[in-house]
């Protein structure tokens, strides 16, 4: 029995989803029973079919029900959760970036510890303006009126090849590089490729929620594999039936752990044995503050099992929308066959700018510059937390790399309460729970803190306000 309140602020979809989810978890709707048909439930509740469909799809995405195409949704056996913690209330739905979604502007009174946004002072705007005018005044500009190389301009792919070899040990030739316009495009392309080999993808638990949603939208079954202190649990991965795995070995997102070389070799061995593919997302690997960057998984792979992906969003500017895939030679033939009609989604101008920027040597200078400026922010953040909060009050996870940390807060408050209390003091921190496939796995006292968009003064102020909010 579901009860719908059309006057409620909670959307109809969420009301249906929440009640069904709770009834499945509590066993009120038992394993193997069929949910009512979408048409029937919509009629009964007097809501649109899309609303019911949406609620069912969300339950399906999270693994509460299975779907057999036209024949309806069946309640799954709910396994004991993977990591032992239990949180039966729905997770916090406050997603990163939502505050800039509609107007593209931030509320500047507040302090946003946002992940992924960069500080504009780190962007080499004068060099970019000069390069752009050179390009616009040259005869090359005629390139804008044509469809061009489908994988991306060969000159840019050649520069990327050199950079990847020097900085990340990646061994490839430019033919293996395919440009994309951000995560949804790249995961979309890889989904279309991998669908030919498997319908199940293993992912770190937790992992970047946006990537998981893209795989789910391509109808993959997701096998969540626990993340240990040193990265993905290979034994648990081996128990899954997945034909591919998505990993972030250099700096696990969001926990910050690093996969040691033995586990890297085991992971490649696993893929080789099973003829599976590994997607290595090397998203912020340039930024290590206490040691040198760790060579990529791809550099260890002799079997053509690693698909390497990365972007210029964390290291240069999200607004450029340039990312790239390095396909192993084993997949190139399949790629050429099935994607030969896909035009490159990255505009010609961005490709030319990036090419000139790299060729003229600005890129390596830029990397050194952002590494220094983000290390400063990182150090201020860590020092301030350590100075202001007690050792037994907080635990910092994933320091010394990247653009974020996870803060575990031991004051009895839940994630939701931590976020709300911070919010009341004018500070936005972000949930970790949304990055879990199974919301029963997460430790319910952690928040995600990004530091790349803030000045050092803002970081200090923000931490003081958090101290006031939480302790």
For the segment 366-395, give every residue that binds its own copies (CB under 8 A): none
Tokens representing 159 are: 């520069």
Q: How big is the CA angle at 199 (ends 78 and 73), to the nearest 5 degrees?
A: 45
Using the contact rule CB under 8 A, the part of the chain among 145-153, 161-169, 249-257, 364-372 near its own copies is 145-153
Minimum gap (Å) between residue 117 Cβ and its own copies: 5
Output the CA torsion sign for 150, 153, 154, 157: negative
Round to whole Å and give the CA distance between 350 and 312: 11
Round to whole Å and give the CA distance between 256 and 435: 13
Minimum CB distance to its own copies smaller for 46 or for 145? 145
Minimum gap (Å) between residue 386 Cβ and its own copies: 28
**Which strands, in side-by-side order, build the sheet including 277-281?**
177-180, 323-326, 306-311, 277-281, 244-247, 200-205, 221-228, 231-232
Minimum gap (Å) between residue 33 Cβ and its own copies: 22
Minimum CB distance to its own copies smaller for 125 or for 372? 125
Q: Are 175 and 158 in contact (CB under 8 A)?
A: no
Using the contact rule CB under 8 A, the part of the chain among 133-141, 248-256, 376-384, 460-468 near its own copies is 133-141
> In the window 37-96, what residues touch its own copies (CB under 8 A)?
48, 50-51, 53-54, 57-58, 61, 69, 95
Minimum CB distance to its own copies smaller for 80 or for 104? 104
Report the residue from 72, 169, 347, 426 that binds its own copies according to the rule CB under 8 A.
347
Q: Across-strand partners of 279?
A: 246, 307
Round to whole Å and give the CA distance between 72 and 415: 35
Report the residue from 78, 83, 154, 396 that binds its own copies according to the rule CB under 8 A.
154
Report the residue from 34, 86, 260, 338 that binds its own copies according to the rule CB under 8 A.
338
Does 148 bind its own copies (CB under 8 A)? Our answer is yes
Round to whole Å and give the CA distance between 291 and 323: 25
State the number of CA atoms in the 13 A half-sphere of 452 facing the CB: 23
Does 183 bind its own copies (CB under 8 A)? Our answer is yes
Does 144 bind its own copies (CB under 8 A)? Our answer is yes
Residues that contact its own copies, how many (by CB under 8 A): 87
Q: Are 222 and 215 in contact (CB under 8 A)?
A: yes
Minimum gap (Å) between residue 152 Cβ and its own copies: 10
> In the window 206-235, what residues touch its own copies (CB under 8 A)?
209-210, 213-214, 216-219
Does 348 bind its own copies (CB under 8 A)? Our answer is yes
Does 116 bind its own copies (CB under 8 A)? Our answer is yes
Minimum gap (Å) between residue 334 Cβ and its own copies: 6
Round to whole Å and give the CA distance between 98 and 300: 38
C-alpha distances in angstroms, 465 versus 111, 352, 470? 10, 44, 9
Minimum gap (Å) between residue 394 Cβ and its own copies: 28
> In the window 246-305, what residues touch its own copies (CB under 8 A)?
none
Q: Across-strand partners of 216?
A: none
> In the window 294-333, what residues touch its own copies (CB under 8 A)?
317-321, 330-331, 333
Minimum gap (Å) between residue 228 Cβ and its own copies: 26
Q: Are 215 and 193 in contact (CB under 8 A)?
A: no
Does 141 bind its own copies (CB under 8 A)? Our answer is yes
Q: How big is the CA angle at 265 (ends 186 and 291), to the nearest 5 degrees?
A: 80
Tokens representing 305 are: 């099992």
Report the residue from 10, 34, 44, 136 that binds its own copies according to the rule CB under 8 A.
136
Minimum gap (Å) between residue 186 Cβ and its own copies: 10
Minimum gap (Å) between residue 242 Cβ and its own copies: 14
Minimum CB distance to its own copies smaller for 37 or for 192? 192
Minimum CB distance to its own copies smaller for 57 or for 223? 57
Q: Are 263 and 138 in contact (CB under 8 A)?
A: no
C-alpha distances in angstroms, 276 versus 225, 304, 324, 355? 16, 10, 21, 34
Strands 221-228 and 200-205: parallel
Report the residue from 125, 372, 387, 395 that binds its own copies according to the rule CB under 8 A.
125
Minimum gap (Å) between residue 241 Cβ and its own copies: 11
Minimum gap (Å) between residue 119 Cβ and its own copies: 7
Report the residue from 19, 66, 192, 393 that binds its own copies according to the rule CB under 8 A.
192
> In the window 394-453, what residues touch its own copies (CB under 8 A)?
453
Rg (CA), the chain: 23
């Amino acid at each position: 029995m579901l009860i719908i309140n059309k006057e409620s602020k909670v959307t109809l979809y969420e009301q249906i989803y929440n009640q069904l989810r709770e009834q499945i978890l509590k066993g009120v709707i038992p394993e193997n029973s069929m949910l009512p048909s979408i048409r029937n439930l919509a009629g009964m509740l007097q809501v649109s079919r899309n609303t019911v469909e949406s609620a069912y799809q969300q339950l399906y995405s999270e693994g509460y029900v299975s779907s057999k195409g036209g024949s309806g949704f069946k309640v799954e056996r709910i396994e004991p959760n993977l990591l032992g913690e239990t949180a039966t209330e729905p997770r916090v739905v406050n997603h990163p970036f939502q505050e800039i979604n509609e107007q593209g502007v931030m509320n500047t009174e507040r302090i946003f510890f946002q992940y992924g946004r960069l500080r504009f002072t780190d962007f080499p705007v004068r060099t970019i303006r000069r390069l752009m005018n050179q390009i616009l005044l040259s005869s090359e500009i005629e390139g804008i009126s044509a469809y061009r190389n489908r994988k991306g301009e060969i000159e840019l792919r050649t520069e990327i090849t050199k950079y990847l070899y020097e900085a990340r040990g990646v061994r490839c030739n430019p033919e293996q590089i395919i440009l994309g316009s951000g995560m949804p495009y790249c995961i979309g392309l890889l989904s279309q490729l991998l669908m030919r080999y498997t319908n199940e993808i293993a992912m770190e638990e937790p992992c970047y929620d946006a990537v998981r949603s893209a795989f789910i939208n391509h109808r993959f079954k997701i096998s969540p594999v626990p993340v240990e202190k040193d990265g993905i649990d290979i034994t648990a991965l081996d128990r899954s039936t997945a034909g591919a795995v998505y990993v972030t070995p250099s700096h696990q997102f969001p926990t910050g752990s690093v996969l040691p070389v033995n586990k890297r070799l085991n992971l490649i061995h696993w893929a080789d044995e099973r003829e599976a593919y590994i997607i290595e997302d090397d998203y912020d690997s340039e930024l290590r503050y206490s040691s040198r960057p760790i060579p990529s998984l791809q550099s260890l792979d002799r079997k053509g099992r690693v698909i390497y992906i990365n972007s210029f969003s964390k290291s240069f500017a999200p607004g450029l929308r340039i990312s790239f895939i390095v396909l192993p030679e084993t997949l190139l033939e399949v790629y050429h066959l099935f994607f030969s009609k896909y035009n490159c989604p990255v505009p010609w101008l961005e490709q030319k700018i990036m090419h000139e920027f790299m060729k003229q040597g600005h890129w390596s200078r830029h990397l050194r510059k952002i590494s220094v400026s983000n290390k400063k922010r990182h150090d201020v953040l860590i020092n301030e937390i350590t100075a202001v909060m007690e050792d037994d009050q907080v635990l910092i996870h994933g320091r010394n790399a990247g653009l974020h940390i996870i803060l575990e807060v031991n004051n009895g408050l839940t994630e939701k309460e931590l976020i709300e209390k911070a919010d009341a003091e004018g500070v936005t921190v972000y949930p970790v729970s949304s990055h879990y496939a199974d919301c029963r796995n997460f430790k319910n006292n952690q928040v995600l803190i990004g530091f790349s968009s803030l000045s050092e003064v803002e970081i200090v102020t923000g931490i003081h306000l958090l101290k006031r909010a939480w302790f």
